[in-house]
Amino acid sequence: MPLLTDIKTTLEMIKWEHSIFALPFALCAAMLAAGGLPAAAKLGWIVLCMVSARSAAMAFNRIADAQIDAANPRTAMRAIPAGSLSRKFATVFVIVACLLFVLGAARLNRMTLYLSPVALAVVLLYSYTKRFTRWSHLVLGFALGIAPAAAWIAVRGSLDPRILLLTAAVTFWVGGFDVLYACQDIEFDRAHSLNSIPQALGVRGALAVARILHLLMLALLVGLIVAFGLGKLALAGVVVVALLLLYEHSLVSAGDLSKLNAAFFTMNGVIAVVFFVFVAADLLIRTPRP
């Protein structure tokens, strides 16, 4: 059926499985807010909001960047420039995903509903930032970084400033990785007046910026553990994340970007899940049993 084919193509285009990036951090925040496991229904709505917001953002990005993607040999075979998916269908997909996000926000609490347009504006408008700022990497990071704060609000109905440590950590983590990933397009960005850290600083400078951003992430994760009074298990999670980041950075150098590929996406998914597992274990061990 054409409809099912278009849906499948869209999900492949947006790399739906990469929703795993920010979701574990949102679940961390939900557990911190609840002091353990939140209600199953609330977790379900949080997951729906996370997946639908990211799906809307990715599909919107592919629409906004269709002409740029068509000109870039690395991205020319993406669904829209390649002609395997129409802009119209992608636009409908974005609208449906946005509606699902607002529905999920409405089912959580009044504050999440009121803030849902703000969240959508952040995740959608990121797509245009590389046209005017080299720091679009951090805007992308913030688009994912708001997930922990949103999950906290979903559980509590209010915002605790401590959870902003996790928002900042995710912002720097994603921003650092995106700086690395953008090294692939440095010549294309320069030729087409697109802004990025690699375009502005070169590959060597971009690698240094990515390392700094990831060091900031680790410092913020330690700050989060201290702020919430978490224990040795959570701290061990930060150590494992640090080792995984060290390995990730060892894969690339200014003279060799050949390993900067889909394996990096897998590594970052592992980082998110590992941190969640350690924090969740720490919280559940401390939660008094009835």
Give the pLDDT score at 32.
96
Phi, psi at 160, each rounded to 5°:
-100, 125
User: Other C-beta atoms within 10 Å of 274: how many?
Assistant: 18
Q: Return the CATH superfamily for domain 2-280.
A: UbiA prenyltransferase (1.10.357.140)
CB 171 within 8 A of CB 138: yes
Q: How far are the Cα atoms of 33, 56, 144, 153 from residue 158, in angstroms, in the given order?
A: 10, 25, 19, 5
- Predicted TM-score (pTM) of this structure: 0.94
Ranges in the chain, pLDDT < 50: 289-290
Please give the distance of CA 252 from its chain centroid, rounded to a whole number: 21
d(CA 142, CA 154): 18
Residue written as token pair 């240094």? 208
**What is the C-alpha separation between 264 and 268, in angstroms, rounded?**
6
Domain-by-domain residue ranges, the chain?
A: 2-280
pLDDT tens sequence across 131-183: 999 999 999 999 999 999 999 999 999 999 999 999 999 999 999 999 999 99
pLDDT confidence of residue 269: 85
H-type helices in the chain, by residue range? Answer: 2-13, 23-34, 40-64, 66-71, 79-82, 87-108, 110-125, 136-156, 164-182, 186-191, 197-227, 232-250, 262-286
Specify the pLDDT at position 16: 76
